[in-house]
Amino acid sequence: MLKKDLRNIIFIVVLTLIISGFCFKFLPSFPITSDTEEYDTVAFSLVQGKGLTPNNEPTKEPLGYPFFLAGIYYFFGYDWQIVKLIQFILLAGMGIIIYLITKKFLGFSSNLALLSSLTLIFWPYFVVYPLFIASEILFTFFLLLSIYFFLNFLRLPSLKNSLILGILLGIATLIRPVALFLPFWLFGY
C-alpha cells in the first residue's frame, strides 16, 4: 500500500469520526422502532443468559444484529451511544472498503477512490443511519466486504478467497436474509 493510500484511509477514518461527533452533538435522538425493540430485547436476553426467546416468544427478526448488540452490551455495558459509535466506526470501514474496491478493482486514481469514499460517508442515509439501532449499517458493511472478496476471488480464484467470501455472505445473511439471493445474482455475472 502506498503512503498516499494510507494517508487517504486515515483521512477517511478521522473524517467519519468527526462526522459522528457532529451527529451526536447536533442531531436529535430518533424514535425507537419496533425492530429496535425486538433487536434490543433479544440482545439483552442473550446477555442475561436467557437465550433467544425473550418472554418465551420466538423472535421474528434475523439473529445477526441481536448477536452484534449482545456482544457490545456484554463488553461495554448496556449503552446505545456505544452501539452508535461502533456503527460510525463501521461506516468508516465501509469508506475504506469502497476506497479499496475502486482503487484495486476499478483502477481509479487515489483521488477518485477517495472521492468515492467521501461520497459514501457523506451520503445522508449513511450519515443518519448509525444513529438508529438498526441492522442497515452492519449489513452494508458485510455486504461491501463480501463484494470486495468476490472481486478478489474473480481476480485470484483460491479456496481461501472462496471460504472468506462464503463466511462473509453467511454473516450478511444472518443480519438481513436478503443476502441469500446474492449468490444467484453473482451466478448471472
- pLDDT string in tens for the chain (189-residue length): 689 999 999 999 999 999 999 998 888 877 777 788 889 989 999 999 888 877 777 778 889 999 999 999 999 999 999 999 999 999 999 999 999 999 999 999 999 999 999 999 999 999 999 999 999 999 999 999 999 999 999 999 999 999 999 999 999 999 999 877 776 766 665
Cα distance between residue 113 and residue 100, in whole Å: 8
pLDDT at 59: 78
DSSP 3-state of 37: helix
Q: Which three cell numbers stand for residue 95?
A: 469508506
Q: Cβ(174)–Cβ(63) under 8 Å?
A: yes
Q: Residue 183's pLDDT is what?
A: 67
**N residues, the chain:** 189
CA distance 123 to 111: 18
